């Protein structure tokens, strides 16, 4: 067990006071070791699968780490012994990415039956929730044809990679909020995209950016795309 303190997951009230949200939120303070984040996901997936919990959004910032999906093509990591942070191979799709302070990582643990058990549709819904949230901060984010993730013009703002167990989702999205989140990308080829430029919301928005404000806008946006 990590020494990181963790807030208990609990239903949040909707913004208009109409009732509890359909998506419980666990917002973990501090910087969470990647292995601990996996343990938390595993527990939530098992509880959701067994009917002991509803859909949950796990939000956190990781200690600096690189992750890569299960693939033989690992060139996006570059020279692994030279990397400044550890590497975890995980059960999502996709090439290498970086997680660390200043980046908000979201793990929606949801029953994908409501999405028709369609992973491609689910990816588009996650993208839309992030695009809608960015609009709250005066930023026109978008999809890029043939790419998964969220972009501002040709600059990548958020990465998305998901996994599924018995149609319960795990893993999710990572959006760069502050400049602190960007330095770790310099040692890899992010998502295997040669020459890609990473950006953060603080560099693109005319408004102050912090995790609390972003979360307040993100949760209803995610609920809207998932539940209508």
pLDDT single digits (tens) 91-110: 776 789 999 999 999 999 99
Residue 3, pLDDT > 70, answer: no
* Cα–Cα distance, 108 to 218 (Å, whole number): 12
CATH number at residue 154: 3.30.930.10
Direct distance between the N- and C-terminal alpha carbons of the chain, in angstroms, rounded to an integer? 37
CB 37, CB 60: distance < 8 Å = yes
Calculate Rg over the CA atoms of the chain: 17
Residue 210 phi, psi (nearest 5): -145, 165
Residue 208 phi, psi (nearest 5): -60, 140
Q: What's the token pair of residue 222?
A: 């995610």
* Cα–Cα distance, 139 to 70 (Å, whole number): 33
Domain count, the chain: 1
pLDDT tens string 110-129: 999 989 999 999 999 999 99
Residue 7 lies in a domain: no
Residue 103 lies in a domain: yes
Q: What's the token pair of residue 20?
A: 């509890």
Question: Can you give the pTM of this predicted structure?
Answer: 0.89
Q: Just list the catalytic residues.
A: 191
């Amino acid at each position: 067990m990590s020494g990181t303190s963790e807030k208990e997951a609990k239903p949040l009230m909707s913004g208009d006071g109409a009732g509890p949200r359909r998506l419980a939120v666990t917002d973990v303070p501090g910087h969470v070791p990647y292995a601990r984040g996996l343990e938390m996901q595993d527990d939530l997936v098992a509880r959701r699968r067994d009917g002991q919990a509803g859909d949950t959004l796990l939000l956190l910032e990781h200690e600096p780490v690189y992750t890569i999906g299960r693939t033989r093509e690992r060139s996006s990591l570059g020279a692994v012994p030279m990397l400044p942070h550890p590497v975890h191979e995980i059960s999502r799709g996709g090439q290498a990415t970086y997680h660390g302070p200043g980046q908000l990582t979201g793990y929606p643990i949801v029953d994908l039956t409501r999405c028709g058990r369609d992973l491609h549709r689910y990816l588009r819904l996650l993208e839309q929730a992030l695009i809608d949230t960015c609009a709250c901060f005066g930023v026109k984010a978008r999809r890029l044809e043939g790419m998964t993730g969220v972009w501002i013009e040709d600059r990548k703002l958020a990465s998305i990679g998901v996994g599924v167990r018995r149609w319960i989702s795990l893993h999710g999205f990572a959006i760069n909020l502050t400049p602190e989140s960007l330095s770790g990308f310099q040692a890899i080829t992010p998502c295997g995209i040669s020459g890609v430029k990473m950006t953060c919301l603080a560099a693109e928005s005319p408004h102050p950016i912090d995790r609390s404000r972003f979360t307040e806008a993100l949760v209803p946006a995610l609920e809207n795309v998932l539940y209508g």
